[in-house]
Amino acid sequence: MEARRKQVYLVTGGCGFLGWHLVKMLVERSDGEIAEVRVFDLYLDENMKHLCTEDVKVTLRQGNITNLTEVMAAVEGVDVVIHSASIVDVWGKFSPDKIKEVNIKGTENVIQACVEHGVQYLIYTSSMEVVGPNVKGDHFYRGNEETDYNIYHDKPYPLSKAAAEALVLASNGKQVKGGKQLNTCVLRPTGIYGEKHELMRSYYEEGRKMGRRIFRVIPASIEHGRVYVGNVAWMHLLAARKIQQSPSAIGGQAYFCYDNSPYLSYYDFNMEFLAACGFQLIGSRPLIPYFILFFVAFLNELLQWLLRPFFCYAPLLNKYTLAVASTTFTVQTDKAEQHFGYKPLYSWEESKARTINWIKTFDEEHSKEQ
């Protein structure tokens, strides 16, 4: 009996926060089915070559997701594509045109490359923000993929992710070279956390400047769903396996990413990790009235518009980020478990411990600098 050929996986955006964990997961959990994990990114991390093993090769391909020729070259010879390359920007660091070019045109390029090279399986990393929270402040409490919700966005990032997701879902069943068909599905992570999360590093650095104090400005009653990056990577791997075994079962489907992480406000959730480094959360109630926060957010957006011709002013607080932080968005679903057997690989306790150990390295870095 002829042995089954080992596969080649491509991870776009493979050097990013989620991408790094995806590549690591694919290598460590290949189960003898994967020969190569190909990483495609604009900026390469040469250290990722060390993730390879005797059984699984990790190759790095530098390229721009907006360049069709470079995407076509990366996809050639691939069996499964996990498309996680994206600009994640809700602060205005990038122009709307740049966000659309990367997130929408880049996705169009990936789909076209799959069609031209006969790739049958495409997993797309979408975002909870294709649904919400919306800027009107409508809460999404323990919702699932079928929950009726007033989806309303006016910012480039969520609009671009929603458009890209729609492109991927619409391409499910599309004929590819060789006469077969493309099978696609999308995964929507809620707020991802874990090792290598640069936003968490930013919170740490800002709090350190304030004497390791974090000041509460959002009510503790506002809850957000968070999910550990290792579990998001695990869900991608399981979806990639299932879509090959039973394309009709999950092809054309969208899934929220979830695990057992607690539903808390952003401040209380971050303190689950920062407290281990001596940080304190000041205030049981918001220390700044909402109308003042809104005024500052409005002022930040005005300054951003005025200063755009001269330099990039992109503060963390704007009207969109304030609306997101002030709106409950939590999911409660078992769709991924029903459709492809997903259960969190990492418990909350292990996810928390891994994240804390990573954050503690910041203290070590600062100690060496002194």
CA distances from 111 to 117, 123, 202, 272 (A): 10, 11, 34, 40
Q: Are 19 and 45 in contact (CB under 8 A)?
A: no
Tokens 């990722």: give the residue: 48
Q: How far apart are CA 303 and CA 42, in angstroms?
A: 30
Which residue of the set 157, 263, 267, 342 is catalytic?
Answer: 157
User: Assign residue 142 a region: left if phi > 0, alpha if psi is -120 to 50, beta otherwise?
Assistant: left
Q: How far apart are CA 86 and CA 294, in angstroms?
A: 28
Amino acid at 22: L
Q: How far apart are CA 13 and CA 82, in angstroms?
A: 9
Question: Which H helix or E strand runs over 275?
Answer: none
Has 157 been annotated as catalytic? yes
* Biggest CA-to-CA distance, the chain: 71
Residues assigned a catalytic role: 157
